[in-house]
Amino acid sequence: MHTNTIAVDLAKSVFQVSFANRADRVVDRKRLTRSQFERLIKTHEPTTIVMEACASAHHWCRLAQQHGHKTRQLHPYYVKPYVRRNKTDSEDADALIRANKDPHLLAVPTKHPEQQALQSIHRTRQQFIQTRTQRINLARSLAVEYGLSLPRGSAGISTKLRSKSDELPVMLVPTFNSVITDIDTLAGQIRQLDTELDQIAKQSEIATRLLSIPGIGVITATALVASVPDIHLFKRGRQFAAWLGITPREHSSGNTRRLGRISKQGNEYLRTLLIHGGRSVSQQASRRKPEDRDPIHLWIIRLEESKHR
């Protein structure tokens, strides 16, 4: 049986596969285990394999490319409208066949293992930061139950918490100290990851160039390298801004054009880092003396006079 396209609904252990001919008509469907799907990739004649851009998709795309296949990852948000009636694994795979025919539907680029590894470091770091914040909030809530309040901010929080432990009931002190230990451990792990990212940035030509942009630091530069496989896929800066979700949401009809707030679509982590970087540059512009401001700072000052910060 000759197939022109193979669509797969990825999962952890059960893979639903649809086979389509040159007319994009589904001619066969199979339900495969993980090992069977891997064997299919290695033994099937080179063809086009389509899947949603989800967990493990980059791995399977790289494996398929090694065996001569052409791969396409489609964003799940744009595949969903092609699902007909009831949602099943089989229907999801068929929807990929139909979505693949859309010439305006761009594929998600496959990332190199190094890019994925760098992104994993960022996600781990972000998880550590969130967990540390949870531990700090837990310690604060335990202390406030006994009338012990702490100033805002996380600077020197462990020392401040330990100074309050003597005022807590004896029964609670071991638990309270274990929370403080978690805070210190997580802070050390975050610093270690920051050091690793700093070393990676020094070895990356792209990250080094990004660091020359005002408001871009090591974290933002390495996050951009990890999240954007190829910046040249965007024809202009506005397309990149739309991908990040910092362009206005539009709801227009006829001669009426309505532009709202930013769409907030795309990579939330990157958007947050860039907003913090922009805020930092804006604060620098307002704090510097007029004679020390460069053209970018002068432009920011003029913009703040006519727009909201």
Q: Give the pLDDT of residue 125.
A: 96
Q: Give the pLDDT of residue 126.
A: 95
User: Read out DSSP for 130-185?
Assistant: HHHHHHHHHHHHHHHTTT----SSSTTHHHHHHHHGGGS-TTTHHHHHHHHHHHHH
- Could you tell me the pTM of the whole model? 0.85
Nearest to 58 by CA among 172, 211, 226: 226
Q: Give the pLDDT of residue 1.
A: 56
Domains (range + CATH), the chain: 5-100 (3.30.420.40), 113-213 (no CATH), 222-306 (no CATH)
Q: Give the pLDDT of residue 148.
A: 80
C-alpha 278/C-alpha 234 separation (Å) is 22
C-alpha 184/C-alpha 214 separation (Å) is 32
Q: From the CB of residue 45, how many other CB atoms can be counted at a distance below 10 Å?
A: 9
Dihedral angle, C-alpha 281, 283, 288, 291, nearest 10 °: 60
pLDDT in tens, the chain (309 residues): 577 899 999 988 899 999 999 888 999 999 999 999 999 999 999 999 999 999 899 999 999 999 999 999 999 999 999 998 888 999 999 999 999 999 888 898 999 999 999 999 999 999 999 999 999 999 888 888 888 887 777 777 888 888 888 888 888 989 989 999 999 999 999 999 999 999 999 999 999 999 999 999 999 999 999 998 888 888 898 899 888 888 888 888 888 888 888 888 888 999 999 999 989 998 888 888 888 888 888 888 888 888 877
